[in-house]
Amino acid sequence: MTVQTTNKTLITEEYPVPPFKKQQQPMPGLASKMDPRPDHGETSYRGSGKLTGRKALITGGDSGIGRAVAIAYAREGADVAINYLPEEESDAAEVVQLIEAEGRKAVAIPGDIRSEKFCQELVKQAAEQLGGLDILVNNAGRQQFNESIRTLSTEDFDATFKTNVYAMFWITKAALEYLPAGSSIINTSSVQAYQPSAILLDYAQTKASIVAFTKALAQQLGKDKIRVNAVAPGPYWTALQVCGGQPQEKVEKFGESAPLGRPGQPAEIAPLYVTFAQVNNSFTSGQVWCSDGGTGTL
């Protein structure tokens, strides 16, 4: 049943609740093949010029939270470059169309951020094609569940750290050549940094590292008037979950334990990234903003 107010319809009860259908995809997964398909704000997000004239690079911008942020930024007036894996091209093409539909410039740069050389080239291409850079969103992530440290291979451990931690370091370092005073760096952490799940040993470690990176870097870059913040999502309905991020029995009940009784949709967290990017939040840096459906983790 929909909740009515005097001037609008609240959307909380309209979003899907578990149980969900069994579904599994090979990595890296496509949002277009999920059931139900996530809401990234394609039809729901309304902008109001909060980021007019800004230029943003978003990693993992093809689906999930990165896609929602790309849509929101474009509708707030920003030009946007997105990075994604070549296997995610079909999802990325949709994002490019959505950005361009807002009259904004869209730049699509596929490639694997586990390579330092590619990360450097990614930033260079984004800055050159956008004509500058003043927002960096380090969002791309790898999450693969594993029941025990005994079966967690060095190869998988390394891949998670390269994607979630090393790439963020490489991309941010390269971006500092282009980011002027007043720029904003926004990193995607997770509630896993504070309440790690047993089956996400390596993933949780990387998300805790991102919190420390954010807070330390904010202190380093304060003198340059560059702000650094992070968003820590709880259970969000994204392709990350259905391509090995969770076992099947947890996918079916995903988000059930949140006080709101469901997982979040990417469209619901994008406004936090908009807020951190706004120039009028010029005294907010070194912060981690949690969105987890009511558990009050942070």
Residue 255, domain member (yes or no): yes
Residue 101, domain member (yes or no): yes
Q: What angle do CA 44, 27, 43 make, to 5 degrees?
A: 10
Residue 14, domain member (yes or no): no
Residue 150, domain member (yes or no): yes
Question: Across the chain, where does the E strand assignment appear?
Answer: 55-59, 79-84, 106-110, 135-138, 184-188, 227-233, 288-291
Phi, psi angle pair for 90, to nearest 5°: -65, -40
pLDDT at site 298: 67
pLDDT at site 295: 86
CB atoms within 10 A of CB 66: 28
Listed as ranges, residues in the chain with pLDDT below 50 are 1-8
Are the C-beta atoms of 269 and 236 separated by less than 8 Å? yes
The number of folded domains in the chain is: 1
pLDDT at site 6: 43
Domain that holds residue 102: 50-291
Are the C-beta atoms of 282 and 226 separated by less than 8 Å? no
- CA distances (Å), 26 to each of 32, 96, 206, 217, in order? 13, 23, 22, 35
Instruction: Return the residue matching tokens 């807002």.
Output: 102
Residue 38, domain member (yes or no): no
Residue 68, domain member (yes or no): yes
Q: Write the pLDDT tens digit of every residue in 219-239.
A: 999 999 999 999 999 999 999
Q: How far is 132 from 146, CA to CA, in rounded Å? A: 41
pLDDT at site 13: 53
The strands making up 135-138's β-sheet, listed across from edge to edge, are 106-110, 79-84, 55-59, 135-138, 184-188, 227-233, 288-291
Q: How far is 67 from 61, CA to CA, in rounded Å? A: 5
Residue 193, domain member (yes or no): yes
Question: pTM of the entire structure?
Answer: 0.94
110 closest CA partner among 65, 78, 62, 179: 62
Q: Where are the alpha helices (DSSP H) in 132-179?
A: 154-161, 167-175
Residues taking part in catalysis: 203
Are the C-beta atoms of 126 and 106 separated by less than 8 Å? no
Residue 226, domain member (yes or no): yes
Residue 234 sits in a domain of what CATH number?
3.40.50.720
Instruction: Return the residue matching tokens 């999930």.
Output: 64
The structure tokens listed for 187 are 């990193």
